[in-house]
Amino acid sequence: MKPWGSRVDRFPPGERNENTLVWGHFRNVLVLCVLGVLAKLTAFYRFVLGKILYGARSDVYAELIVVFGSQTGTSEEFAYKFSENLKKLKVPHRVLDALQVDEKLLRRKITMVFFISTQGIGEPPDNIKHVFSMLHRSRFMRLPGRHAVFGIGDSSYTSYNEAAVNLSALLHSAGSTAWYPLELADTSYKLDGTFQKWMRALLRSHFSVDEDNAVDPADQTRQKHSQSGAFSVCEESNTPDKQSIVYVRMVSSELLTPSSSRTNRFIKFESLNKKWDYEPGDHVGCFPPNADDLIDGIIELLGISDLELEQPVSTYVPVDGTVVSPGCSVYLFLKWHADIHAHPKKKIAEQISQYIVDENERSTFQARMDEGMSSKDRSNWVQLLSRYSSLVLSLADFLRIIPQKLPRFYSICNFSPVEPLLSITVAAVEGGLCSQWLCSLEEGAEVPVFLRKSDFRISFQDLEKDVLFIGMGTGIAPFLGFLQKKHFWRNGRSRAEAKISKNPKKLDGKRGPKAKPCGAFTLIFGCRSSADWLFAQTIRNVQECTSFDDQYKSLYQHNQGRQNSVLPLEGHTDSFVLNAVHVAFSRESPFRHVQDCIDDISESIWKVIAGKGTVFICGDGLQMGYDVEQCLREKVVQRHGGHSCDEAAALIEEMKQSKCLRRDVWDA
């Protein structure tokens, strides 16, 4: 017998009535109500949680999916490149073959980025054709998601990127929202550059909250290429020359004119080889790097791939007999050797015109070229190439045309036995690639340099006669080394005798050498104003010295105990290091030039010339050199020497030949 309380006991078969059915319906309705309430609570919970996690955003998409429709693998390659950058930004996503896309996936509220190539006469790749079929049935399927399409095709075909265009149109008609505008890339023209530009713009527009942590694709390229390998480095036992360089470490960079609008720095380098043979007045050749934005611009405009950037540049152009290392990559060549910062010369421009396809653009370019590429137009290579959209230039042609960067030279302003640190003076010129770079470097930075010997030197024999220095701006730099050399001459007949100072024990009990006879040293210096007077305090200190005592030595030497001390002179001497200084400020009252100073002391200058002394002219301005020579002819030689105009000119030329007149001038 069934236990009492069961349904059978309560409602025997013969006694079932309408109450039984009512109770059953009531129970079903109650269950449905409870389930409905739970569903509402769940939806409310998800809504609140979404608000907490995403704030007020109503455009939350469940997932980011990268899809590639590829026949030969090109679209797949770029899809994974895009994925790598998403990983750098820590963006959750998946990469799917288009075969894995079904109707269920399309109906989800997701973001889909399509990479699709065009085959044959405008057909999509085989693995994505079923997606087109599903989208054609879009009247039965409204898509709640959003999309971006990157198309890859060949512009030589009439159906250029037709598959990408059709896919974008079908997605839009099916209700999908465009996440980023359609991009069409050409496999025959700057494919990689187009992709990089599109990808950077997309990532920056949608992931700006993570921009500080984002890794720019260009930064990844820079990180892969170190500085080493760009140059042919010389052997340790040799002095670096124009075919081999050495890296020197910046020890200090002193701002010389803090109150001036111009930046002038006194920079010292630690030479790694103590055997280098150089004199003050010789030149340091520096190779500055190109700016990152210029390099990125060239890579984008030419569509240079990562694989091409890693190739040795010697596979495209010969590098024998140059400072370029045989193993230098294309990227390092663009960074250190290609002269992309400069304005192309007319001869180079003629070669560029051959690669402009559009006739109108070519005629416009040639018209500008015939006008002489106006001196006001200082466009660099990136600015020039970006103006002409029909310019088709391959990497090999570009590397063949682009000139190699010339080194920038700076006069050495230290005499190594007195000041062992290689020293130069740099004025930051507006638009100057090397000067701006050097002035921006911090202590410890390594700079690729080489040395070039110059005729602008002063010998020990020159020190015995009167010497006149005429300098403008940074042209005063080598004169500091000349003064150091005179100080050394006063303390010992030659450099070999002065080396006794390197051994402190040999100084004990020794008497200093007698003062050697020296000629008078006169300096004429010109600049814009007193705020631009380089080494002003140093020159004043030199003038105040009455003997070669410890006060003078501390001016030029690094006192490390007695290691670098020199023997003091016996007795007092009135032959100072620098006997007279004449300064002219062209933009400060009384508004004078170096020619005015020459006129003031013309009689003293004639004594220097007549006594076979040496005149040194150094400065940043070719015209300054000619003006000073003209002033010497007219105000000195003709006036005090009694020579005619032709005789004075001949005497100046004779002084050049006999090296009684030495010039080191350059164009600012």
Q: Are 579 and 433 in contact (CB under 8 A)?
A: no
Q: Which residue has the higher pLDDT, 181 or 221?
A: 181
Domain CATH number, residue 188:
3.40.50.360
Helix, strand counts (H, E) of the chain: 26, 17
336 and 447 assigned to the same domain: no
Dump pLDDT digits (tens) for 449-498.
888 888 899 988 888 889 999 988 888 889 888 888 887 776 654 444 44
* Identity of the amino acid at 121: I
Instruction: Report d(CA 109, CA 498) in Å as an integer.
Output: 84
pLDDT band at 107 (very low <50, low <70, confident <90, very high): confident
Say which range, 65-79, 263-277, 287-301, 312-326, has the weakest mean pLDDT.
263-277
Mean pLDDT of 563-574: 34
Q: Could you tell me if residue 220 is inside a domain? A: no
pLDDT of 128 reads 92
353 and 393 assigned to the same domain: yes
What distance, in Å, lies between the first and last C-alpha atoms of the chain?
A: 119
Q: Could you tell me if residue 243 is inside a domain? A: no
56 and 171 assigned to the same domain: no
pLDDT of 228 reads 57
Please say which residue of 364, 386, 401 terminates a domain. Answer: 401
Which of helix, strand or coil describes residue 640? helix
pLDDT of 668 reads 53
Parallel, antiparallel, or unpaired: how do β-strands 446-452 and 422-427 relate?
unpaired
Domain CATH number, residue 555:
3.40.50.80
486 and 444 assigned to the same domain: no
Half-sphere exposure (CA, 13 Å, Cβ side) for 613? 22
Q: Which residue has the higher pLDDT, 389 or 94?
A: 94
E-assigned strands of 350-433?
A: 408-411, 422-427
Question: Which two structure tokens, joined as six digits, stand for 356?
Answer: 């402009």
Instruction: Report d(CA 553, CA 565) in Å as an integer.
Output: 8
391 and 417 assigned to the same domain: no
Q: Which residue has the higher pLDDT, 348 or 183?
A: 183
Which of helix, strand or coil describes residue 156? coil
The 10 Å Cβ neighbour count of residue 98 is 23
Q: Is the pLDDT of residue 148 over 90?
A: yes
Q: Could you tell me if residue 237 is inside a domain? A: no
Dump pLDDT digits (tens) for 285-333.
998 998 888 888 888 888 888 888 888 998 898 888 788 888 889 999 9
Smallest Cα–Cα separation from 67: which of 166, 167, 169? 167
pLDDT of 12 reads 56
Percentage of residues in the chain having pLDDT higher than 90: 17
Q: Which H or E element spans position 661?
A: strand 661-666
Instruction: Report d(CA 574, CA 579) in Å as an integer.
Output: 9
Q: In what order do the strands lie in the sheet with 521-527?
A: 580-585, 521-527, 467-472, 614-620, 661-666
Domain CATH number, residue 316:
1.20.990.10
Domain CATH number, residue 425:
2.40.30.10
440 and 478 assigned to the same domain: no
615 and 482 assigned to the same domain: yes
pLDDT of 114 reads 96
Which of helix, strand or coil describes residue 546? coil
Parallel, antiparallel, or unpaired: how do β-strands 264-270 and 246-255 relate?
antiparallel
pLDDT band at 267 (very low <50, low <70, confident <90, very high): very high
Q: How far is CA 293 from CA 69, 289, 337, 444, in A?
A: 33, 12, 16, 24
Q: How far is CA 643 from CA 488, 604, 649, in A?
A: 38, 17, 9
Dump pLDDT digits (tens) for 643-666.
899 999 999 999 989 999 998 887
Which of helix, strand or coil describes residue 235? coil
Long-range contacts of 198-207, Cβ-Cβ distance < 8 Å, separation of 24 or more: 198/150, 199/81, 199/82, 199/85, 202/148, 203/85, 203/86, 203/89, 205/180, 206/179, 206/180, 207/89, 207/91
Smallest Cα–Cα separation from 460: which of 438, 428, 419, 488? 488
Domain count, the chain: 5
Four-point Cα dihedral 502, 508, 514, 519, nearest 10: 30
Smallest Cα–Cα separation from 534: which of 257, 261, 260? 257
Q: Are 229 and 240 in contact (CB under 8 A)?
A: no
Q: Determine the length of the chain.
A: 668
Q: Could you tell me if residue 224 is inside a domain? A: no
Buried b vs exposed e over 55-64: b needs ≥16 C-beta within 10 Å?
A: eeeeeebeeb
* Residue 23 backbone phi and psi in degrees, to 5: -60, -40
Please say which residue of 362, 379, 401 terminates a domain. Answer: 401
197 and 105 assigned to the same domain: yes
Judge if pTM exceeds 0.75: no
Q: What's the domain range around 431?
A: 248-288+406-454
Q: How far is CA 172 from CA 132, 136, 152, 445, 614, in A?
A: 13, 12, 19, 54, 83
534 and 498 assigned to the same domain: yes
Instruction: Report d(CA 335, CA 523) in Å as an integer.
Output: 41
Which of helix, strand or coil describes residue 523? strand
Top mean pLDDT of 156-160, 475-479, 497-501, 553-557 is at 475-479
546 and 526 assigned to the same domain: yes
596 and 647 assigned to the same domain: yes
Dump pLDDT digits (tens) for 21-62.
666 777 777 888 888 777 777 656 655 554 444 343 434 566
Dump pLDDT digits (tens) for 615-632.
999 987 667 778 888 899
Q: Could you tell me if residue 233 is inside a domain? A: no
Taking only Cα atoms into account, the Rg of the chain, rounded to an integer number of angstroms, comes to 39
Smallest Cα–Cα separation from 444: which of 267, 666, 600, 188? 267
Q: Which residue has the higher pLDDT, 187 or 333?
A: 333
pLDDT of 214 reads 46
Which of helix, strand or coil describes residue 526? strand
The 10 Å Cβ neighbour count of residue 3 is 7
Top mean pLDDT of 6-15, 267-276, 469-478, 568-577 is at 469-478
Q: Could you tell me if residue 227 is inside a domain? A: no
pLDDT band at 182 (very low <50, low <70, confident <90, very high): very high
Parallel, antiparallel, or unpaired: how do β-strands 264-270 and 422-427 relate?
antiparallel
On average, the pLDDT of the chain sits at 77
Instruction: Report d(CA 141, CA 104) in Å as an integer.
Output: 10
55 and 87 assigned to the same domain: no
Q: Are 602 and 609 in contact (CB under 8 A)?
A: no
Mean pLDDT of 349-364: 84
* Residue 177 backbone phi and psi in degrees, to 5: -90, 140
Instruction: Report d(CA 582, CA 561) in Å as an integer.
Output: 36
Q: Is the pLDDT of residue 69 over 90?
A: yes
Q: Could you tell me if residue 2 is inside a domain? A: no
Smallest Cα–Cα separation from 574: which of 598, 607, 548, 603? 548
Dump pLDDT digits (tens) for 212-249.
444 455 555 444 445 557 777 765 545 666 667 888 88
Q: Is the pLDDT of residue 636 over 80?
A: yes
Q: Could you tell me if residue 626 is inside a domain? A: yes
pLDDT of 19 reads 62
Q: Is the pLDDT of residue 556 over 80?
A: no
Mean pLDDT of 108-121: 89
